[in-house]
């Protein structure tokens, strides 16, 4: 890839609370120009990573750059990055119109027409107080605020986790539409892979502060295969096939392998994997405490 | 940022403006009455021995004005901590609690600016509110304060209301009870209480504990400063006054219980409006003889033998005077003269404003460091 600036570039990034590391020695690069999904189990450090990348937290160790700049680099840098925080906070006492006014006063690139149009499309009453909105409407208001400042990068932290399925679908639709329209990069965290699958074209699986696997979704799906066949040991597979998970019955073995080459062994039944299967496989491997965890980080 | 701060502060600003307007009306209406009572008393033209006139004037004030006099003092005591509690503590802590700082910090405005504008505007509003309030109260109470000062200290008067038999005191400007409710000092207190509230909120990140801490810390400081700091802001003055026996008749009273005979003295310390920090009585080189200040002046509780009337001959005045002269009784006083009121007010206000500015700066620095959950 030739793009010079990554959306998020973390080097040895860590955040400690007392004796507990919420994120430890995290090194990752999320390229710009994608709708990138950041997935991982609860406690993997997704929110901490995003809080560090948006400057809500100061790192204990390491550095993080966003679009090549410091997260709190100044008002210019702040204008380039939109952020929708977890639970999509809004000012309870302020009306919808007040929120738009807030955005207009605090952002030099504010797109008032876009904001107004969005509110109309959502059917929100501008005079309504944010406290009276439903969770889905609040999320939409927070998203509108982030989009109308015309950022180059939009960072969303589990924006849909607390929404009901229809509100979730609506939110993602709005997000996809806006992304296509404004041509912005998106980094969005979630532990719901099914939701990400619909919108993201880049995936990062973060487990215990480590990138377990990352890459473009198409590429990931093309290089992972589910093999079923007569029982055999993992060691007997070709070196080009990296075993992610395996299960054995008396006569049969099932392997999820990563291989850049097509699997041509006629003994195998080869199936494609879904994104969810893939993520679950990597997560399951982590919880099983596999000894070759470190090996999987090798992805150069 | 200014717009957002004003919008968020709107409800509190309306409350404060309403309270100021109500106070202004009440004080303006009643202040006229107090003012004309003062003018018609002989106080404005009085320059010496005004104690009686002052007492009469204070006595002539209506009962509603009594309530207002003490109520306004109470208000001046409450206003700064209330602003610290309800404007200061939630200012940033509330944002942390609701998570709204994550909206604010992602607008194209640095969080340092965010913190400074919030602190500056609302802090200014707090100082201005307290300043205006103090201005009104100081104006309203100035005749009474002046009477208290002319009376040579505290005035005790019978309450003016019909059928009310309680007594009430007015004290001079420099007495700690009044000092904190007059002049420019409340402005400094309000700015400081506000900054203290914000600091507690930033450090604790929760509004309620921040309010509790603000209240406790502010109360402690308001007790410590008048007792331990204010007396030393300017070097106090000293005076030593000889205590003599009254000319003419000698008053000796015998306490029925102890059987001791006390003798009335004259010449105790009297400087109108002075704030007495400490006083020590001496007899020769011996400190602290048994002298007390009673309502009719100082009294030596153990009169010399020569002054105690004997059944046969009564008091022998010449012997008694001699006996007392030999004792060399005197009163040594450390005090702040009345003229120090404005210098002390300005210094104290300056200190509080400096502290407030320091706390404000610390808040902004803390916010910049992103020590938030």
- Across the range A23-50, mean pLDDT stands at 90
Chain A contact set for B113 (CB, 8 A): 75
Q: How far is CA B345 from CA B185, B191, B338, B339, in A?
A: 6, 15, 12, 11
Evaluated on CA atoms B224, B228, B231, B234, the torsion sign reads: negative
Q: What does the pLDDT read at residue A288?
A: 55
Nearest residue in chain B measured CA to CA from A104: B107
Contact: B100, A107; criterion CB under 8 Å:
no
Locate B275 and state its tokens: 């704030």
Task: Looking at the structure, give the CATH architecture of the domain made up of residues A6-208.
Answer: 3-Layer(aba) Sandwich (3.40)
How distant, in Å, are the alpha carbons of A29, B42, B129, B212, B233 from that of B87? 43, 45, 12, 13, 30
Query: How many CB atoms lie under 10 A from the CB of residue B261?
Result: 18
Q: How far apart are CA A51 and CA A32, in angstroms?
A: 18
Q: Residue A14 — very low, low, confident or very high, per pLDDT cuts 50/70/90?
A: very high
Q: Which tens digit of pLDDT belongs to each residue from A134-189? A: 988 999 999 999 999 999 999 999 888 778 888 888 888 888 888 888 889 999 99
Which ipTM score applies to this complex? 0.84
Cβ contact B181:B77 at 8 Å: yes
Where in the sequence of chain A do the CATH 3.40.50.300 domains occur?
Answer: 6-208
Which of B285, B270, B264, B284 shows the shortest CA–CA distance to B239? B270
Write the burial class of residue B108 (CB in 10 Å: 0-12 exposed, 13-18 middle, 19+ buried): buried
C-alpha–C-alpha distance, residues A116 and A97, integer Å: 9
Question: What pLDDT sits at residue B368?
Answer: 86
CB count within 10 Å of CB A267 equals 9
Spell out which residues of chain A touch residue B5, defining contact as CB-CB under 8 Å.
Answer: none
> Residue A123 contacts by C-beta under 8 Å, 6 or more apart in sequence?
none
Verify whether the Cβ–Cβ distance B370 to A56 is below 8 Å: yes
Percent of chain A whose pLDDT exceeds 90: 41
Distance of CA B338 to CAs B146, B164, B170, B232, B237, Å? 11, 32, 15, 15, 11
Q: In what order do the strands lie in the sheet with B329-336?
A: B237-242, B329-336, B275-283, B286-287
> Strand A269-272 vs strand A224-230: parallel, antiparallel, or unpaired?
antiparallel
**pLDDT on residue B100:** 93
Give B2 to chain A, closest Cα distance, Å. 9
- Count of A–B CB contacts within 8 Å? 80
| Cβ–Cβ gap A105/B4 under 8 Å | yes
Element (H, E) at B252: strand B252-254
Tokens of B261: 């005979």
Q: Pick from A108, A142, A104: which is nearest to A122 by CA?
A: A142
What 3-state class would DSSP assign to A156? strand
From CA B105, how far away is CA B107, in angstroms rounded? 6
The residue in chain A having the minimum alpha-carbon distance to the alpha carbon of residue B98 is A89
Alpha carbons A257 and A244: distance in angstroms, whole number: 5
Position A223 pLDDT exceeds 80: yes
Per-residue confidence at A50, pLDDT binned at 50, 70, 90? very high
User: Does the beta-carbon distance from B98 to A92 stay under 8 Å?
Assistant: yes
Query: CA of B367 to nearest chain A CA: how many angstroms apart?
Result: 10
User: Given this model, what pLDDT does residue B160 score?
Assistant: 34
Mark out chain A residues that contact chain B at CB-CB < 8 A: 54-58, 72, 74-76, 78-79, 81-83, 85, 87, 89-94, 98, 101-103, 105-109, 142, 145-146, 149
CA B324 to chain centre: 38
Residues of B in contact with A85 (CB under 8 A): 99, 102-103, 106
pLDDT tens per residue across span B122-165: 999 999 999 999 999 999 999 888 888 776 544 444 433 332 33
Q: What angle do CA A228, A269, A204 make, to 5 degrees?
A: 70
Q: Are the beta carbons of B106 and A109 separated by less than 8 Å?
A: no
Cβ neighbours, 10 Å, residue A151 = 24
Q: What is the structure's pLDDT at A298?
A: 34
B10 touches chain A (CB under 8 A): no
Rounded CA-CA distance B193/B103 in Å is 27
Q: Give residue B295's pLDDT.
A: 64
Interchain contact B109–A (C-beta under 8 A) = yes
- Between vectors from CA A283 to CA A282 and to CA A285, what angle results, nearest 5°? 65
**pLDDT for A234-284, tens place per residue?**
888 888 888 888 888 888 999 999 988 888 888 888 888 888 888 888 887
Verify whether the Cβ–Cβ distance B109 to A78 is below 8 Å: yes
Say yes or no to pLDDT of A295 above 50: no
pLDDT in tens, chain B (373 residues): 899 999 999 999 999 999 999 999 999 999 988 888 888 888 888 777 777 788 778 878 888 888 899 999 999 999 999 999 999 999 999 999 999 999 999 999 999 999 999 999 999 999 999 999 999 999 999 988 888 877 654 444 443 333 233 355 677 888 888 999 999 999 999 999 999 999 999 999 999 999 999 999 999 999 999 999 999 999 999 988 888 776 666 777 776 676 677 787 877 777 777 888 888 888 887 777 778 777 667 788 887 877 777 777 667 778 888 888 888 888 888 999 888 999 999 999 999 999 999 999 999 999 988 644 3
Chain B neighbors of A106, CB-CB under 8 A: 1, 4, 107-109
* Per-residue pLDDT at A297: 37
**Substitution target from B99, B103, B372 for chain A, most A beta carbons within 10 A:** B103
The pLDDT of residue A155 is: 95
DSSP state, residue B140: H
Please name the residue that has the structure tokens 């074209």.
A201
Are A143 and A174 a contacting pair, CB within 8 Å? yes
CB-CB neighbors (< 8 A) of A53 in chain B: none
A89 chain-B contacts, CB cut-off 8 A: 98-100, 102-103
B39 at the A interface (CB within 8 A)? no
pLDDT above 90 (res A96): yes
Please state, in angstroms and rounded to a whole number, the distance separating the CA atoms of residues B50 and B43: 7
């Amino acid at each position: 890839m030739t793009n010079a600036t990554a959306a998020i570039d973390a080097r040895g990034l860590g955040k400690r609370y007392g004796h507990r590391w919420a994120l430890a020695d995290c090194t990752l690069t999320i390229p710009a120009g994608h709708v990138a999904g950041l997935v991982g189990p609860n406690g993997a450090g997704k929110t901490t990573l995003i809080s560090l990348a948006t400057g809500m937290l100061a790192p204990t160790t390491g550095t993080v750059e966003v679009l090549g700049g410091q997260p709190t680099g100044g008002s210019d840098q702040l204008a380039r990055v939109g952020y929708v925080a977890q639970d999509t906070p809004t000012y309870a006492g302020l009306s919808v119109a007040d929120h738009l006014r807030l955005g207009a006063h605090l952002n030099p690139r504010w797109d008032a027409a876009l904001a107004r149009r969005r509110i109309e499309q959502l059917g929100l009453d501008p005079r309504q107080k944010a406290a009276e909105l439903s969770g889905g409407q609040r999320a939409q208001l927070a998203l509108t605020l982030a989009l109308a400042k015309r950022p180059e990068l939009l960072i969303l932290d589990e924006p849909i986790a607390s929404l009901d399925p229809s509100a979730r679908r609506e939110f993602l639709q709005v997000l996809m539409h806006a992304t296509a329209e404004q041509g912005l990069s998106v980094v969005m965290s979630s532990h719901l892979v099914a939701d990400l699958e619909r919108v993201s074209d880049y995936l990062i699986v973060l487990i215990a502060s480590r990138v377990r696997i990352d890459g473009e979704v198409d590429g990931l799906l093309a290089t992972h295969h589910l093999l079923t066949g007569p029982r055999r040991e993992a060691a007997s597979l070709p070196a080009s096939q990296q075993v992610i998970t395996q299960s054995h019955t008396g006569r049969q073995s099932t392997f999820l392998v990563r291989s850049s080459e097509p699997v041509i062994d006629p003994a195998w039944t080869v199936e494609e994997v879904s994104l969810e299967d893939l993520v679950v496989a990597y997560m399951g491997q982590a919880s099983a405490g596999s000894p070759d965890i470190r090996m999987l980080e090798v992805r150069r | 940022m200014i717009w957002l701060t004003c919008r968020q502060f709107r409800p509190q600003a309306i409350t404060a403006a309403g309270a100021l307007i109500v106070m202004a009306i009440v004080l303006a209406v009643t202040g006229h009455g107090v003012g004309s009572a003062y003018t018609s008393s002989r106080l404005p033209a009085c320059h010496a021995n005004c104690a009686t006139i002052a007492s009469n004037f204070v006595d002539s004030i209506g009962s509603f004005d009594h309530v207002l006099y003490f109520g306004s003092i109470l208000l001046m005591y409450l206003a700064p901590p209330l602003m610290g509690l309800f404007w200061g503590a939630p200012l940033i802590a509330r944002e942390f609690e609701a998570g709204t700082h994550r909206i604010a910090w992602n607008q194209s405005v640095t969080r340092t600016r965010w913190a400074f504008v919030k602190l500056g505007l609302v802090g200014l509003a707090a100082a201005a509110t307290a300043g205006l309030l103090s201005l009104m109260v100081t104006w309203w109470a100035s005749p009474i304060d002046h009477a208290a000062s002319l009376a040579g200290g505290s005035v005790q008067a019978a309450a003016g209301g019909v059928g009310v038999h309680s007594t009430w005191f007015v004290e001079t400007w420099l007495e700690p009870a009044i000092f904190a409710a007059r002049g420019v000092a409340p402005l400094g207190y309000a700015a400081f209480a506000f900054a203290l509230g914000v600091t507690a909120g930033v450090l604790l990140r929760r509004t309620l504990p921040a309010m509790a801490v603000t209240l406790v810390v502010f109360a402690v400081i308001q007790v410590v400063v008048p007792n331990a700091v204010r007396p030393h802001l300017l070097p106090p003055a000293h005076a030593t006054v000889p205590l003599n026996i009254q000319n003419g008749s000698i008053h000796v009273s015998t306490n029925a219980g102890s059987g001791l005979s006390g003798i009335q003295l004259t010449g105790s310390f009297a400087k109108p409006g002075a704030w007495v920090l400490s006083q020590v009585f001496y007899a020769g080189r011996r400190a602290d003889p048994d002298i007390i200040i009673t309502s009719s002046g100082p009294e030596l509780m153990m009169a010399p033998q020569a002054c105690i009337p004997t059944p046969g001959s009564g008091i022998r005045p010449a012997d008694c005077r001699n006996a007392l002269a030999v004792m060399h009784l005197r009163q040594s006083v450390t005090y702040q003269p009345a003229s120090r009121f404005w210098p002390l007010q300005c210094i104290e206000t300056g200190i509080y404003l400096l502290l407030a500015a320091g706390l404000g700066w610390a808040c902004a620095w803390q916010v910049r460091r992103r020590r938030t959950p």
